[in-house]
Chain A
């Protein structure tokens, strides 16, 4: 069996090998437009070079402000992971009001702090003003090392069968 992207991984899960239940999984979908950041006056918040605004969606369970992740991986090439501490510093479900939690299924403009610097690979995120195009842009996920290792061993096991 081959795993081309995370869709294959999801499709091959079953109740015995659930990979993500009870584990934080944050989907990094797109880069918010300057116009929308301005709408919420988020453009006035000073960012340091390690920080970036990204439209994120909680896709496994609710994720609280200040949640910590340590693995970033792309949708299409799960194995191209980047390890490093990432903190979810701010959540804006409504552009004008900061939230303490990103509930599962919700999308918000989030301020992410990458302790070791914003990875260059995130330049492949789709700008909000552009239509989805998987040949051109990439979706990323943030999770924790234990979850990612579980994913890797699941893939290896399935590929051996």
Chain B
């Protein structure tokens, strides 16, 4: 039984409801199981129905709308639960002399778009009775409403557990994503590499693109430190800093869609001037202290100089250095407090 179904917000419930209603009835049966603390709730047709925990397999088995359909479980990324449900359902199918059905689920978070598109993170596997799960690939993976592009609002089922989950989440950020959602999904800190003029501490506001389209931040302090080193190397009259902000301190700032290298730089774009992030972020540390902390937290010795024109540049380094988990990023944040210049 899916003992670890995920919780999600009221807004997400509405999006799930809207998205699932767009999917044609033929093909897979898509189930979103919501756990409210005591009961599972299943979205069926147009409404949420409560179901006792132990009866979930029986409920699916008895539901004629799901006859002969493999079940896609959208809100459970726990392999043991998916396998248990597959076993329980298969036994009921065998007893009833029906075709035994399989359970399909993802290892990572699942995105449901209001237009009916479903996009899972991590590996997608099919679970059958008493057998090893089968990895699904390409067109074998369920996508909800076919031939649909990611558009409209989006619900994310599950917390971010892996770098792949994080990349999938960051890719889908757009103007409708509230800053608070970052915290809900486990992103506790954002980092930004900047430069300030040595003579008067003036903050470089960014190039015309970032002024017009938003400033880059990263969930990875290594990336922010690399950019601070690079900017300071090529501008000797400026000094590098790393600013560290928690999403809960940045709630008034709007997010926008990521740039081309979001997956390499674990980037989140904030549609606000550089000064807004600088003012709201509680911590700013020198690039020298940021390098020291990268060494302490990650065991990585970053170069003290990186030229934008040379190699390896930030482009190559962000592809060869390990990516920071959200836990390690938060550790960096907490340790940066003692170096805070603010």
Binding site for B on A (CB under 8 A): 5-7, 10, 20, 25, 27, 29-30, 36, 55, 57, 59-60, 62, 75, 92-96, 99, 101, 103-109, 131-132, 134, 139
Interface flag for B10 (CB, 8 Å): no
Asked whether A93 lies within 8 Å of B308 as measured between CB atoms, the reply is: no
Give the total of B residues in contact with A, Cβ under 8 Å.
Answer: 23
C-alpha spacing A104/B260, complex, angstroms: 15
Asked whether A7 lies within 8 Å of B310 as measured between CB atoms, the reply is: yes
Asked whether B307 lies within 8 Å of A132 as measured between CB atoms, the reply is: no
User: Which of B213, B308, B312, B316 meets A59, CB within 8 Å?
Assistant: B308
C-alpha spacing A74/B46, complex, angstroms: 60
CB within 8 Å of A: which of B204-234? 207-210, 213, 230-231
B interface SS class: loop
Against A, the Cβ 8 Å flags (1 = close, 0 = not) of B314-332 are 0110011000000000000
Asked whether A7 lies within 8 Å of B260 as measured between CB atoms, the reply is: no
Asked whether A60 lies within 8 Å of B309 as measured between CB atoms, the reply is: yes
User: Which of B213, B307, B309, B315 meets A107, CB within 8 Å?
Assistant: B315
A103: chain B residues within 8 A (beta carbon): 207-210
In order of increasing CB-CB distance, the 7 nearest A-B pairs are A103-B207, A132-B316, A7-B310, A103-B209, A59-B309, A59-B308, A29-B315
12 A–B contacts from the bound complex (CB under 8 Å): A5-B311, A10-B310, A27-B313, A29-B316, A59-B309, A93-B259, A93-B260, A95-B260, A96-B257, A106-B209, A132-B319, A139-B311
Closest to B305 in A: A11
Closest to A25 in B: B309
Asked whether B310 lies within 8 Å of A131 as measured between CB atoms, the reply is: no
Closest to A57 in B: B315
User: Which of A36, A75, A101, A131 meets B208, CB within 8 Å?
Assistant: A101
Interface flag for B245 (CB, 8 Å): no
B309: chain A residues within 8 A (beta carbon): 6, 10, 20, 25, 27, 59-60
B316: chain A residues within 8 A (beta carbon): 29, 132
User: Which of A27, A92, A94 meets B257, CB within 8 Å?
Assistant: A94
Known: A30-B315, A94-B257, A94-B260. 12 other contacts (CB 8 A): A6-B309, A10-B307, A10-B309, A25-B309, A60-B309, A75-B311, A101-B209, A103-B207, A103-B208, A105-B230, A108-B260, A134-B311
B207: chain A residues within 8 A (beta carbon): 62, 103-106
Asked whether A62 lies within 8 Å of B315 as measured between CB atoms, the reply is: no
Q: How far is the CB of A34 from chain B (nearest CB, A)?
A: 13
C-alpha spacing A96/B312, complex, angstroms: 28
A104: chain B residues within 8 A (beta carbon): 207, 308
Against A, the Cβ 8 Å flags (1 = close, 0 = not) of B156-176 are 000000000000000000000
Against A, the Cβ 8 Å flags (1 = close, 0 = not) of B268-310 are 0000000000000000000000000000000000000001111
C-alpha spacing A55/B307, complex, angstroms: 18
A29: chain B residues within 8 A (beta carbon): 315-316
Interface flag for B258 (CB, 8 Å): yes
User: Which of B209, B308, B313, B319 meets A99, CB within 8 Å?
Assistant: B209
Q: How far is the CB of B244 from chain A (nearest CB, A)?
A: 21
Interface flag for B98 (CB, 8 Å): no
- Most chain B CB inside 10 Å of its own CB: which residue of A20, A25, A29, A134: A29
C-alpha spacing A6/B312, complex, angstroms: 11
Q: How far is the CB of B227 from chain A (nearest CB, A)?
A: 8
Asked whether B311 lies within 8 Å of A7 as measured between CB atoms, the reply is: yes
C-alpha spacing A55/B261, complex, angstroms: 10
Asked whether B319 lies within 8 Å of A131 as measured between CB atoms, the reply is: yes
C-alpha spacing A122/B24, complex, angstroms: 46
C-alpha spacing A101/B210, complex, angstroms: 12
Q: How far is the CB of B199 from chain A (nearest CB, A)?
A: 17
C-alpha spacing A55/B315, complex, angstroms: 10
Q: How far is the CB of A49 from chain B (nearest CB, A)?
A: 25
Q: How far is the CB of A64 from chain B (nearest CB, A)?
A: 11
C-alpha spacing A29/B308, complex, angstroms: 12
Contact A92/B260 with A62-B207, A105-B207, A106-B207 known, Cβ cut-off 8 Å? yes
A6: chain B residues within 8 A (beta carbon): 309-311
A62: chain B residues within 8 A (beta carbon): 207-208
